[in-house]
Amino acid sequence: MTFADPTRPLEDLIKEGSDAGFMADVVEASKTQPVIVDFWATWCGPCRQLTPALEKAVRAAQGAVKLVKIDIDKNPAYAQQLRVQSIPTVYAFVDGQPVDGFQGAVPDSQLKAFIDKLTGGSGVNADVEQLLSLGEESLALNDMGGAAQAFAHVLSIEPDNEKAVAGMARVYLAGGDADQARQTIAMAPEDSKEPAVQSVRAQLALASSAPVGASAELEARVKANPNDHQARFDLAQAQAASGDLKGAADSLLAIVAADRDWNDQAARKQLLTVFEAAGAMSDVARDGRRRLSSILFA
């Protein structure tokens, strides 16, 4: 599977057609990839609703299909030949023949299903999944440029993709730009259940609550007095804010082991936020929960 070419002008996929160019633009072109033909007219109200939505769906398909728009008032021949009775009427051509179609304005979900049926429904989705995987791999390798490019590419295909939104926010977080990360994650719904979105929001919550002061100073205080739970708690917050979630979990678990009820169980509560920030299936969360259970139920 190859990625859709992000450098290709998407407007090349959308063309104003004519009777004179129908054979080349539709019939011949459909022998190499599906071509959608939108029969419309300037006086048609539903056409003004359908055509922009259809253009959006074709762009989202990232080269899987082409769209040819034909004004039937200026170009009536093929509309008559295909027995277009009302507009908008949409036909899909494959291998030089009309294979599917519909009439009237339809919702975006139906347009997507129409295009998916033409393309096998796998091309763009497969690209999106591969790009998301590439972004995650780049993040793991600390290749922020590669990660940003992959997640941005997904968002150009699916602007509402919550995993890509969270991925871009993580890139900004890794670069120390918490403000841009907050603006980016705000693109996701407030009630999002996507784990990646929840993880970023938890990381931002940890960053915003981090105390002012260097970790080295806090580490020195803890070393001088291992029972200074406030210093260890502050150290955990600083560690979490810098991305050291394992270190933060270790510090908080040390507090719980020494005094589980300290400061109204503040360490245990903060641990849950750290686990959420790390991700439910991460080693930090799984190992941390196991150790927490051992402490609480020993």
Of 18, 14, 2, the closest CA to residue 70 belongs to: 18
Catalytic residue among 47, 155, 218, 256: 47
- Are 182 and 204 in contact by the 8 Å Cβ rule? The answer is yes
What confidence category does residue 282 fall into, taking pLDDT thresholds of 50, 70 and 90?
confident
Neighbours of 190 (CB within 10 A): 7
| DSSP label at residue 26 | I
Give the C-alpha separation, 174 to 146, whole Å: 13
Neighbours of 95 (CB within 10 A): 10
Tokens 């090349």: give the residue.
12
Q: Which residues pair with 35 in a beta bridge?
A: 66, 93
Catalytic residue among 29, 35, 36, 44: 44
104 catalytic? Reply is no
**Is the confidence at residue 209, as pLDDT, over 90?**
no
Mean pLDDT across the stretch 65-78? 95
Give the C-alpha separation, 160 to 162, whole Å: 6
Task: Spell out the residues 6+ positions from residue 233 whose beta carbon is closer than 8 angstroms to its own.
Answer: 251, 252, 255, 263, 266, 267, 270
Mean pLDDT across the stretch 16-29? 95
pTM (two decimals): 0.53
89 catalytic? Reply is no
What confidence category does residue 139 fall into, taking pLDDT thresholds of 50, 70 and 90?
confident
| DSSP label at residue 30 | G
**Is the confidence at residue 8, as pLDDT, over 70?**
no
